């Protein structure tokens, strides 16, 4: 298993997992884009190959991206200086990596 950050593209020698065997790519070396919830393989022409498979099936352990976070509360974009105020009343999430802003407990 190879560690790779979500959002990055890595070159992987694909394992003999069920999905890779089924797609006849087991043992082949391919470019793989690490998505939040899966891995998209690319053929040698740089075209998407089949549908995304799971990280494990592609031989990858996904790690969080180095994200600069763009915080949103629902549809509302939250400015840096308002984060604590908004997070106290509503859940604030990053729209890129799905991290949640730590809520400060106000008594």
Residue 67 interacting with Zn ion (CB under 5 A) = yes
Residues in 88-107 at the binding interface with Zn ion, rule: CB under 5 A = 94, 96-97, 99
Whole-angstrom distance, CA of residue 5 vs CA of residue 33: 9
Distances (CA, A) of 6 to 84, 88, 102: 27, 29, 21
**Cβ-based neighbours of 46, under 8 Å, separated by 6 or more:** 31
83: contact with Zn ion by CB under 5 A: no
- Smallest distance from the beta carbon of 93 to Zn ion, in angstroms? 9
* Tokens of residue 40, six digits: 């998209």
Closer CB to Zn ion, 86 or 99, in the complex: 99
23 or 99: CB nearest Zn ion:
99
Q: Interface mask (CB under 5 A) for Zn ion, residues 20-59, using x and -?
A: ----------------------------------------
Rounded alpha-carbon distances, angstroms, from residue 101 to 21, 38, 75, 97: 40, 24, 15, 11
Quick check: 69 binds Zn ion (CB under 5 A)?
yes
Give how many residues touch Zn ion by CB under 5 A. Answer: 6
In contact, 72 and 92? CB cutoff 8 Å: yes
Binding region for Zn ion (CB under 5 A):
67, 69, 94, 96-97, 99
């Amino acid at each position: 298993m190879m560690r790779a950050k979500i959002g990055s593209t890595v070159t992987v020698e694909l394992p003999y997992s069920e999905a890779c065997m089924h797609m006849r790519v087991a043992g082949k070396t391919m470019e793989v884009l690490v998505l939040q919830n899966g891995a998209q393989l690319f053929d040698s022409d740089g075209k998407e190959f089949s549908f995304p498979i799971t990280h494990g099936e592609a031989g990858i352990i996904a790690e969080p991206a180095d994200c600069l976070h763009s915080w949103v509360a629902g549809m509302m974009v939250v400015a840096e200086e308002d984060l604590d105020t908004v997070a106290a009343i509503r859940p604030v999430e990053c729209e890129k990596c799905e991290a949640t802003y730590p809520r400060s407990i106000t008594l």
